[in-house]
A and B are shown apart, each in its own frame.
Chain A
Amino acid sequence: MGILEQATELVTREMGDDVLDVTTFRGETTISLKPMAISMAVKLLRDDPDLNFNFLAMLTAVDYFPQEPRFLVAYQLYSLSNNVYLGLQVPVSGKGPELPTIESVYPNANWHEREVWDMFGISFVGHTDPRRILMPHDWEGHPLRKDYPLGYEEVQFSFNFDEIDKRKPYAKE
């Protein structure tokens, strides 16, 4: 049987109830899991000698405000020896979003999880260094959430040039 079928069978067998769904879209297989199960699942996938998913290709989140569950944390694992991608998805609720960290399994998840915390406010339990990474350390808010404004500034055309000129903070000295 193919590697992806083997992987989904392993995860559904070991994790049982924690697996919510297995979907295929445009040739990509994605397994949906409950939040607390993610670190066990990736450990299984990495340590299995046939599957050998040894590379974390992506870790990010999507905000589906105002639906519940609000966030969807997406992972993509890649197996170099078998040359397949496997996606994992974890729906996380909007009130107090948190997930276990997978840093012990894939060390390079460290910065990816910091970025998800910075941009979305999803905290990772057990992370060694939960600081903001892209925004200044004293920034308030989580920019990539859907209820965070884009920060759009009014464009200065010739008809409103003077009024914007008065309001805009120019450096004098």
Chain B
Amino acid sequence: MTAFPAEDQIPEELRPLLSERALTGETIVLNMGPQHPSTHGVLRLILELDGERIINCIPDIGFLHTGIEKNMEAKTYEKALVMTDRTDYLNNLGNNLTYCLAIEKLVELDVPPRAQAIRVIMVELQRIASHLVWLGTHALDLAAQSVFLYCFREREVILDLFELCSGARMMTSYIRPGGVWRDLPEEFEPALKAFSKDLPRRLDQYEAILTKNPLWLDRTVGISPIDAETALAQGLTGPLLRAAGVPFDLRRTQPYSGYDQYDFDIPTADSGDVYDRYIVRMQEMRQSLRIIDQAMEDLPGGLFRSDNRKFVPPPRSELGHSMEAVIHHFKLWTEGFRAPHGSVFVATESPRGVLGCYLVGDGGPYPYRVHFRTPSFAALQALPLLAKGCLIADLVAIISSLDPVLGDTDR
């Protein structure tokens, strides 16, 4: 009698990772392939199953590897900004901000206060949009399909706001070194106020559907709890760590872009299971709204982008009558600005966790090395630990509660 699956069907490199029971056929090796409705992107999982219990789960990533880091080395600093939108495609403005903060730290460029406040508003709106996609897909995976439609309806309002400012819904490249691309238009403030009045009521509706729903509780409470020390050792950050009880938020501990002026809470929970992560993210959306309201109220006047012409191009209206403006424009457009030798590391709080950018300059106009330390990479690394011993249906809930974005993971 042959073993099922046959020993030669298991690829060579995976054999040391699977237990001996797999080679004899006692446990099934199942491929949850790159194309799957519930893997949130192109994630391949090789599951070793004993009946329906998971003995081992081996993630295989790299199906969305785009070579962004190497490609950024071939473009100037400002042109490479376009690629940062596309790493974590649900946190475009956050990626832009992290990269711009790294450049500004390296070349010692100051950002005016109005630009910092606008950046905060945009990044917090992006955080709400990302959490709405998370909630929609998380609920969709657990078969609450209507929540998906509601969340995307709210997200459309946010994308309309982005389009108002920058012209694009998702890949905005709005946050640029020195500030933001252009000032907020007049229609932005009333639209934002209307949105921020509307959203808490909607979030209440979603919580009314899910938070005390016995079906939801059955599927999420007690699934993959994790304690704070293990989470930290695995490199989990963001809502995953806060759900385990550690109130660690880079916006509070290492504030950037003026976050220390705003008053907001850091929601935490106890056990770190799927339900707690849900609670933490729902509350984070409300806190983001608080930050946006404060930032919009106290929006300072002034420049929306630094006027240091060595790094920031002059407005086109100046090109008609100022020779220096023409020279700066020419230099920046043909060669780009130069960064000194040295390396910096800047980390910000993305909706998924700690997003870090390590930037090495070599005195030339191209970045010598750019590396993004992405939160989804660490989250998927912890997946085998979280998924041990649970059912496949629980695995779906765990993956969507980790909120992985494969563009973030594979870059």
Contact = CB atoms under 8 A, between A and B. Distances in A.
**Do A and B touch directly, given a CB cutoff of 8 Å in the complex?**
yes
B291 to A, nearest CB: 21
A20 to B, nearest CB: 16
A60 B371 contact: yes
B235 interface: yes
Interface in B354-370: 354, 356, 358, 360, 368-369
B371 A131 contact: no
Contacts of B232: 54-55, 80
A10 interface: no
A110 B380 CA distance: 12
A107 B17 contact: no
Residue from A25, A58, A148 whose CB has the most chain B CB atoms within 10 Å: A58
Interface string A120-133: 00000000010111
Range, interface on chain B? 35 or more
Contacts of A54: 232-233
A36 B68 CA distance: 31
A134 B410 contact: yes
A58 B374 CA distance: 9
A108 B71 contact: no
B381 A111 contact: yes
Contact of A87 (B70, B254, B345): B345
A1 interface: no
Interface string A142-156: 011000101110000
Interface in B305-361: 342-345, 347, 354, 356, 358, 360
Interface stretch (B59-67, B132-140, B293-301): B59-67
Contact of B381 (A80, A85, A110): A110
Interface residues of A, number: 38
Interface string A22-54: 000110101000000000000000000000001
A10 B66 CA distance: 41
Nearest to A55: B232
Contact of A56 (B235, B360, B371): B235
Task: Determine the main DSSP class of A at the interface with B.
Answer: loop
Given A111-B381, A134-B410, A150-B74, A106 B233 contact: yes
B10 to A, nearest CB: 14
Nearest to B378: A108
A19 to B, nearest CB: 18
A131 B358 contact: no
B17 A129 contact: yes
B373 A25 contact: no
A136 interface: yes
Nearest to B344: A26
B120 interface: no
B71 A150 contact: yes
Contacts of B358: 58, 60, 74, 76
A66 B105 CA distance: 28
B70 A143 contact: yes
Given A56-B235, A137-B13, A25 B342 contact: yes
Residue of A133, A137, A152 with highest tally of chain B CB at under 10 A: A133
A83 interface: yes
B248 A143 contact: no
A135 B248 CA distance: 33
A62 interface: yes
A57 interface: yes
Interface string B236-267: 01000000001010000110000000000000
Given A56-B235, A107-B233, A150-B71, A62 B360 contact: yes
A87 B360 CA distance: 13
B67 A151 contact: yes
A133 B60 CA distance: 7
A85 B347 CA distance: 10
Give the 7 A-B residue pairs with the shortest CB-CB distance, closest first: A108-B235, A134-B62, A60-B371, A134-B65, A58-B373, A111-B381, A62-B369
18 contacts: A25-B343, A28-B344, A30-B343, A57-B356, A76-B356, A76-B358, A87-B345, A106-B235, A108-B234, A111-B381, A112-B377, A129-B17, A135-B65, A143-B67, A143-B70, A150-B67, A150-B74, A151-B67
